[in-house]
Amino acid sequence: MTKDTFHQHLQELHLHLTEELLPFWISRTVDDENGGFITHFDQYGYDSGEDEKSLIAQTRSIYTYASAHRAGYGYGKLAELARHGVDYLLSQLWDEEYGGFYWMTNRKGDVINDQKIVYGQSFAIYCLSEYTLATGDPRGVKYARHVFDLLQKYASDTTYGGYFEMFDREWTLKGPGSAGGDRKTLDAHMHLMEAYTTLYECTKQPIHRRKLLEVIELLVHKIMHPIYGTGVPQFWANWEVAPQIKFDVIWGWDRFTEDGVKREAEDNTSYGHNAEFAWLLLHAMAVLEIPIDTYRDQLLKAFSHAVDHGVDWELGGVFVEGSHSGEVYDREKEFWQQAEVLIGFLDAYRIFGDERYWKAYENVHRFVLDKMVNHPVGEWWPLMTRQGVPIWTHMSHSWKINYHTVRAMVQSIRRLDVLMAGQHVAL
């Protein structure tokens, strides 16, 4: 590839980030009356009126604004937005009696779901650590460390390793089945790796390093498929594979059958998750200062599977999910998978030099900018047909927020800058 090629792609991403994505959020998300962020917008970018503020949407928004500010965008406005979000998070979502963050408030800040969900706690650690790194405000890392300590006390499984994930307000483990108390997930543990990476980057404390390394080892040796190196979604407490089911408290809009069981419930993997896991692992290794060869085989398997089976070479973009062995089950195109493979394929090309990763990146880059971005509004369509026709049309809700889209632009631009400079640096 030539520098001109890298520069062309970089310019397109920079224009989208600075002229569309960031203005979309800066102009409409702040709730000046009640604090925190409004996070539900329709296809035209108008407030769709849902009366909720979720832990996921608030923390992901804080992360987005803090990380984009740290990367040099926003002329200080993004730091102000992040601080506004932290004020709400600590005043309305923090449980002063039992510790940890509630799952949901209404717009006014009244708690409407007081459960403690590890997936949400992980994003609190992630955003608050990033916030301190970006602004120097010590409140962020103070509360990030509180949550980390609570997870070690209440959620850590000292028998089989890893973390239980679903708790009542007072940190009592929830029941089995759809309550989720008897299961562990790739999703939560991958985001704990992400969170612990940023926490350790912020504190450099040995305990945070040790727990980060523990989660990485668990992901590589228990959660990723032993042959294909692909992510397995759900497990029983002892790390035997469990059929993937829909939990009572959900954090996404996965398409399940009416009985709440996933199609091919014991043999499905997400191409987006696999690429996301691989690039997050690379970033964790850089922060930990451990060599790439430590997990080289795992990285290659995850990246290769996404390229070989997930990319739609005919119509562009990446599919949703399929079998570990290669068969594609869901050929629709969802926003967050596109976002994560953009970063992942650039990392794979940067690290391994295989041009098929660059071709895969170009493929998804074009699909995103030509079809997935709702250019008149500035954000991305959430779900499209294989051909690129919108199925869902909202621009944002509690699960479809700015975290994937803005992060994909910021991180992809960083990688294209490195490729243009002909460098091989840790990111």
Model confidence pLDDT, tens digit, residues 68-116: 999 999 999 999 999 999 999 999 999 999 999 999 999 999 999 999 9
Instruction: State the residue range of the domain holding 289.
Output: 1-30+285-426
- Higher pLDDT: 218 or 263? It is 218
Evaluate if residue 40 carries a pLDDT over 90.
yes
195 and 301 part of one domain: no
- CA–CA separation, 241 vs 225, rounded Å? 10
Both structure tokens of 345: 């394929």
8 and 100 part of one domain: no
Model confidence pLDDT, tens digit, residues 109-138: 999 999 999 999 999 999 999 999 999 999
- CA–CA separation, 253 vs 260, rounded Å? 12
353 and 300 part of one domain: yes
* Residue 275 falls inside a structural domain: no
pLDDT number for residue 120: 97
89 and 158 part of one domain: yes
64 and 209 part of one domain: yes
Burial 279-288 (b: 16+ CB within 10 A, else e): bbbbbbbebb
Model confidence pLDDT, tens digit, residues 321-362: 999 999 999 999 999 999 999 999 999 999 999 999 999 999
Q: What are phi and psi of 236, to 5 degrees?
A: -75, 175
304 and 180 part of one domain: no
* Residue 357 falls inside a structural domain: yes
- CA–CA separation, 374 vs 95, rounded Å? 38
What CATH code is carried by the domain that includes residue 290? 1.50.10.10
371 and 261 part of one domain: no
362 and 394 part of one domain: yes
Of 14, 28, 88, 34, the C-alpha closest to 58 is 88
262 and 289 part of one domain: no
255 and 326 part of one domain: no
247 and 372 part of one domain: no
Facing residues of 236 across strands?
Answer: 183
- CA–CA separation, 323 vs 129, rounded Å? 36
The answer for residues whose C-beta is within 8 angstroms of residue 259's C-beta and 6 or more apart is none
* Residue 305 falls inside a structural domain: yes
* Residue 277 falls inside a structural domain: no
CA distances (Å), origin 34, targets 38, 81, 109: 10, 14, 7
The answer for residues whose C-beta is within 8 angstroms of residue 342's C-beta and 6 or more apart is 361, 364, 365, 368, 408, 412
- CA–CA separation, 226 vs 289, rounded Å? 25
Q: What is the pTM of this model?
A: 0.96
Classify 149 as helix, strand or coil.
Answer: helix
76 and 115 part of one domain: yes
Per-residue pLDDT band for 266 (boundaries 50, 70, 90) equals confident
Evaluate if residue 209 carries a pLDDT over 80.
yes
Per the structure, the count of domains in the chain is: 2
Q: What are phi and psi of 245, to 5 degrees?
A: -125, 165
Q: What is the 3-state secondary structure (H, E, C) of 227-292?
A: CCCCECCEEECCCCECCCECCCCCCCCCCCCCCCECCCCCCCEEHHHHHHHHHHHHHHHHHHCCCH
Q: Where are the beta strands (DSSP E) in 153-205?
A: 166-167, 183-185
Q: With contact defined as beta carbons under 8 Å apart, do 325 and 359 qualify?
A: no
